[in-house]
Amino acid sequence: MSNKSELLAMSRRALLRGAATTAAAAIAGTAAAQSAINEVINAPRRGNWDDQFDAKASRTDVSAISNSPVLSPSNQVNLLQAIGDYQAIVANGGWPMVNSGVKLRIGVVDPSVRVLRQRLMISGDLARSAGVSDSFDSYVDGAVKRFQARHGLPEDGVLGEFTLKAMNVSADVRLSQLNKNLQRLEGMKEDLGQRYIMVNIPAAYVEAVENDTVALRNTAIVGRESRQSPLVDSKVSDIILNPYWTAPRSIVKKDIVPLMQKDPTYLARNNIRLFDNKGQEVSPESVDWFAAEAPNLMFRQDPGKINAMSSVKINFPSPDAVYMHDTPTQGLFNKLMRFESSGCVRVQNVRDLVVWILKNTPTWDRQHIEQVIASRVNTPIPVVDPPHVHWVYITAWSAKDRVVQFRDDIYQLDGDAQLALQTTAGIEQISGSVEDDILPQ
């Protein structure tokens, strides 16, 4: 039996042995939890504390960050523990809904803060010793930031639209989400590889993992709902520095031809050249751009800064012909909703990932990689000791003891509409169509 199987078997046995205790605790916990809340509510001198507006805005005892990979076998044990915790929360009546006519942030004094404090205590983001009052002090600020970190939201300590929506997903729905994701983790193969790249699609980020430790994390842009990124189980085959970008037939018909009708310089400005089926270059001036059918030619963009894949393409076998790559539109990585590609994954700071992939490939150190990229010469690199590639759909996990992470169910696979509340809100519409990446403008 593998270490993973032994670990999970032991965890399940322990869980079963403690089932009676857990059930009893869940039933008795209602009175205990209410007693604890009443205790802090009625505690003396729990009002406008002297330090409530101090400069230390974050008073988080436990960080939400972990070097444990999302797919680590130990995380299934953590997830089982989280399920037990949330079963107790649901048995105790869940948590209150937070509503306010004012935007809650540090410095605000409002009756709704009292409910907010209770909500954060129940989910473990705020210590019960912080007390319950109407004041949004530095303790609450730190707790809100911790909550935001656990939900993949900007850690600004402000209850904006997205934070409030995530906070008001009910406890029983979160419990169902945890169970659904435990099934996903249990369904994955045991041997992920000593070195592997994981793309967690709902979280829109990449982990480079070695020896069950995260060596690198990168922000990503993944497929939007109408053109979803698929699940992948593969292995890196090669890396291309300064890749060519070949426009798919659909984008030629829908976008490039109309653009050429309006602006005959479009192809030249974007370094896109035409080739016939014999590999001979064709002059754009020789093409009838107003013909009924789009020209049956290959539209290939030369390597360079404005190339749709920019400096790097990471290849691996895939039935869906997807890959990972750089992008010239780096500003998209700053967005909260990074679900805008057509299935392929764009990676921020992709050169760091390339250095890690090529660490065992002779001569390809960071300096050499940068020199080749600067040359603008198309350069394929076979990879020695290629890492595995796993694109997964995990919306809830626990990579650290009692620190549970949740993400939006962007493809609506978790079975509850509450979990997809943020799927489309706030997503900036991209002009033109998108296929492998943003159409060069």
Catalytic residue positions, numbered:
325, 344
Q: Which two tokens stand for residue 395?
A: 């919306």
Q: List, in sequence order, every residue forming a beta bridge with 205; answer none if it has no partner.
A: 200, 219
On the CB side of 52, CA atoms within 13 Å amount to 20
Closest CA to 189 of 2, 10, 318, 345: 2
The rounded distance, in Å, linking the Cα atoms of 357 and 237 is 11
Strand duo 195-200 + 205-210: pairing = antiparallel
